[in-house]
Amino acid sequence: MRIAVLGTGSVGQTLAGRLAELGHEVTVGTRDVAVSLARTETDQRGVAGFGAWSLANPGVGVATLADAARGAELLLNATSGEASLAVLAAAGAENLAGKVLIDIANPLDFSAGFPPTLFVKDDDSLGERIQAAFPQLKVVKSLNTMTASVMARPVEVGEGDHTVFLSGDDAEAKKTVGVLLAELGHTDVIDLGDITTARGTEMLLPLWIRLMQATGTDRFNFKVVR
Ligand SMILES: NC(=O)c1ccc[n+]([C@@H]2O[C@H](COP(=O)([O-])OP(=O)(O)OC[C@H]3O[C@@H](n4cnc5c(N)ncnc54)[C@H](OP(=O)(O)O)[C@@H]3O)[C@@H](O)[C@H]2O)c1
């Protein structure tokens, strides 16, 4: 499948590399290709500069947000939650119409430091805001409740089972995302319902962050035991 990964950070790099390895035709979308490729230093969180990552992953294309979106059959939103609506607007509503978007972003607000708060919660969600702003896009919220390496290779990160959630209004889109999740190695997929159920998974983030602080690692996941 032709996939556009919007985002050059940890999630964008990890999933773009993994999806290309699985045989998909992947293009990473970014605001300014030259500026992103000029980033070669690893940051303080251990995330490679995008330019260095791109050199090591020559099979993954790099393009502007609009060009990446235009050429894609399916998109991933792996951008900062605060920037996601602006990023999708820059990608162009006409390039998004009718396509599936896996929305991985979380509405984290770091303005008061760490741990972040959520800038939308309880009665709305980032997933819903994206769906409302781009009604012709088929938004499926998923993968946002685990760290990037667990998204990409659940079976190789941590022993045991992993649960991943789906929220979205379009049943066919969720089926498409389910196939991709299975390719990544996710076997326990819970369809929570329509896009309003993204409130639940986005509100898991405050717990996820406390679990990371308590256990000293981000290599863990939620498992729902029935
Ligand atoms: N890191 C994880 O393991 C993890 C796990 C679960 C969910 N998430 C969520 O996934 C998303 C991506 O996380 P991340 O850690 O990979 O990267 P990130 O640092 O949160 O976001 C990087 C991306 O956001 C874009 N961006 C940042 N500020 C922007 C602005 N003002 N205007 C336009 N674009 C802007 C950047 O665009 P350019 O490429 O143009 O610079 C870059 O592609 C976030 O919403 C995060 O909450 C992350």
Mutational test site, ligand 1, from 33, 36, 39, 79, max ligand atoms within 8 Å of CB:
79
Ligand 1, atom 32, residue with closest C-alpha: 83
Written as six digits, the tokens of 74 are: 């399916």
DSSP at 63: E
Q: Is the CB of 106 within 6 Å of ligand 1? A: yes
Q: Which helix (H) or strand (E) holds 164?
A: strand 163-168
Tens of pLDDT, residue by residue over 149-190, are 999 999 988 767 899 999 999 999 999 999 999 999 999 999
**Beta 2-6 vs 25-30: how paired, if at all?**
parallel
Q: Is the CB of 37 within 6 Å of ligand 1? A: no
Written as six digits, the tokens of 151 are: 């998204």
Q: Is the CB of 83 within 6 Å of ligand 1? A: yes
Q: How far apart are CA 83 and CA 17, in angstroms?
A: 23
The CB-side HSE value for 83 (13 A sphere, CA atoms) comes to 14
Interval between CA 225 and ligand 1 midpoint (Å): 31
**Which neighbouring-strand residues pair with 62?**
28
**Beta 117-118 vs 25-30: how paired, if at all?**
unpaired
Q: Is the CB of 145 within 6 Å of ligand 1? A: no
Q: How far apart are CA 26 and CA 216, in angstroms?
A: 33
Interval between CA 15 and ligand 1 midpoint (Å): 13
Q: Is the CB of 9 within 6 Å of ligand 1? A: yes
Q: How far apart are CA 176 and CA 211, in angstroms?
A: 31
The pTM of this model reads 0.98
Q: Is the CB of 148 within 6 Å of ligand 1? A: yes
Tens of pLDDT, residue by residue over 21-65, are 999 999 999 999 999 999 999 999 999 999 999 999 999 999 999
**Beta 108-109 vs 117-118: how paired, if at all?**
antiparallel
Q: How far apart are CA 72 and CA 67, in angstroms?
A: 9
Query: Quick one: what percent of the chain has pLDDT higher than 90?
Result: 97
- Residue indicated by tokens 């430091």: 113
Radius of gyration of the chain (CA): 16
Mutational test site, ligand 1, from 5, 11, 153, max ligand atoms within 8 Å of CB:
11
Q: Angle, nearest 10°, between helix axes 126-133 and 84-91?
A: 30
Tens of pLDDT, residue by residue over 61-114, are 999 999 999 999 999 999 999 999 999 999 999 999 999 999 999 999 999 999
Tens of pLDDT, residue by residue over 181-207, are 999 999 999 999 999 999 999 999 999
Ligand 1, atom 43, residue with closest C-alpha: 7
